[in-house]
Structure 1
Amino acid sequence: MRFGFRKTFAVAALAAVAATVLSGAPASAATRFAADGTRAGLTAGQVGWLQGEVNRYLARTSGQQTGLNVVKTATGAEFRAALPGEAHPRNLSATAASGPCDGGTAPGYLCVYSGPHGTGSQIAMYTCGGIDLPNWNGYGSWGDNQTPGTVTYFYTQYYGIADKFTAKSNNQNYNWTPVWHIDPC
């Protein structure tokens, strides 16, 4: 049973890397991002899994991949994917700085996390403009350290209001299932 899982995981990882190359992403960028992962000690399966997460998020947004596990959207939001079982996204590039959601929510930011208590994959938002969530289901968390009084809206799939709140606030155990889109201000 365990071998079957590993085999399936390895095939999925290779398919994700191939999809990146076939999707029109420059081969040099895909190779460079994969090399960053290898230098950071990731296996080929982990590199492929992260690339697959990035590809899924790119398919939902008008963004650009800026690292193996990082996407910057047109509105300036930054998505960082964490590996399964890891509490936080890894910094996989020697030149990359820490993200504004690493270790808490930096002043001026709205940070949303796929897991409870600031864990899992994360999206950092600093400027106004909506973003799409990457199909998060179940419980995660968010922290809003924007200017006091700023109103953030969480929307359903068809842009009905799922929730709204005012900065500065947070929720360490929030159900993402009904939320598809976020407008931080």
Structure 2
Amino acid sequence: MLTVAATLGTAEAREALQADSTKASFIAQARAAHLSSAKANALQAKVDRFMEKADGTQVAPNLINLAGGGTVYVAVPGEAHFRDLTPGDKTVTADPCAEGAPYGYFCAYEGRDYTGTAIPMYACHSYNVPFLGHGSWDNNQTTGTRAKMYTGINGFGDLRYTTRPALSWDADGDWTPVGSVVNC
């Protein structure tokens, strides 16, 4: 019995070490992209907070792939918009919401006036939203499409708000009661 507990503890310790190593790698990539140590650590802390609320996997210093599909484009703390911190081809990780929602998208923004971290929503399904406080959204889906905001994650919980039909937007809305958005 003691051997099973010790093995389980060792496996958990290995997973924790691997997670720390992965985070250290992302922090090193952020530093290589000319972020100070303080900014790189603050960025990782922000990504960690978002991942606690949204079901996803960190794939770059400021990118989270959501389990159900989609990507969270995390803005460096103190910056108004996402910037690509990944090494290599910079066109791969361009934020579709950088200049407002392109046609066919619903974009959720962490900050007021379409700033900060963004979640572009194109495919029709539920997206977990890890934001708290005042933010914004831009609905440029097909004409008449309404997004629904729920208190729980994965489209569960109480329906909190239904947007006006596309083309619609809100430059200052409260994300605090919202856990997820079903964009269609």
User: Is 1:174 aligned to residue 173 of structure 2?
Assistant: yes
Tell me how far 1:159 sits from its aligned partner.
Answer: 1.6
**Letter of the structure 1 residue corresponding to residue 55 of structure 2:** S
Structure 1 unaligned blocks of 5 or more: 1-20
CA contact (8 A) 2:68 2:127 kept: yes
Aligned residue among 60, 67, 74 for 1:67: 60
Tell me how far 1:145 sits from its aligned partner.
Answer: 1.3
Aligned residue among 71, 74, 81 for 1:78: 71
Partner of 1:3: none
> Tell me, what secondary structure is at the counterpart of 2:38?
helix
CA contact (8 A) 1:114 1:141 kept: yes
1:148-180 alpha-carbon deviations (Å, 9 max, x no partner): 122210112462111112222111111222222
TM-score, L = length of structure 2: 0.78
Query: In the aligned structure 1, how far is the partner of 2:180 from the partner of 2:37?
Result: 32
How many matched pairs?
A: 163
Query: In the aligned structure 2, how far is the partner of 1:70 from the partner of 1:76?
Result: 13
User: Is 1:103 aligned to residue 99 of structure 2?
Assistant: yes
TM-score, L = length of structure 1: 0.78
Q: Which has the larger radius of gyration?
A: 2
Query: In the aligned structure 2, how far is the partner of 1:71 from the partner of 1:143?
Result: 20
The list of structure 1 runs, each at least 4 consecutive aligned residues, that deviate by more than 6 angstroms after superposition, is none
List aligned pairs for 1:119-134, cutoff 5 A.
Answer: 119-134=115-130
Query: In the aligned structure 1, how far is the partner of 2:98 from the partner of 2:131?
Result: 21
CA contact (8 A) 1:75 1:127 kept: no
Aligned residue among 161, 164, 182 for 2:162: 164
Structure 2 unaligned blocks of 5 or more: 1-14
Tell me how far 1:75 sits from its aligned partner.
Answer: 2.4
Tell me how far 1:133 sits from its aligned partner.
Answer: 1.8
Closer, same or farther: CA 96–35 of 1 in aligned 2, 3 Å: farther
CA contact (8 A) 2:39 2:77 kept: no
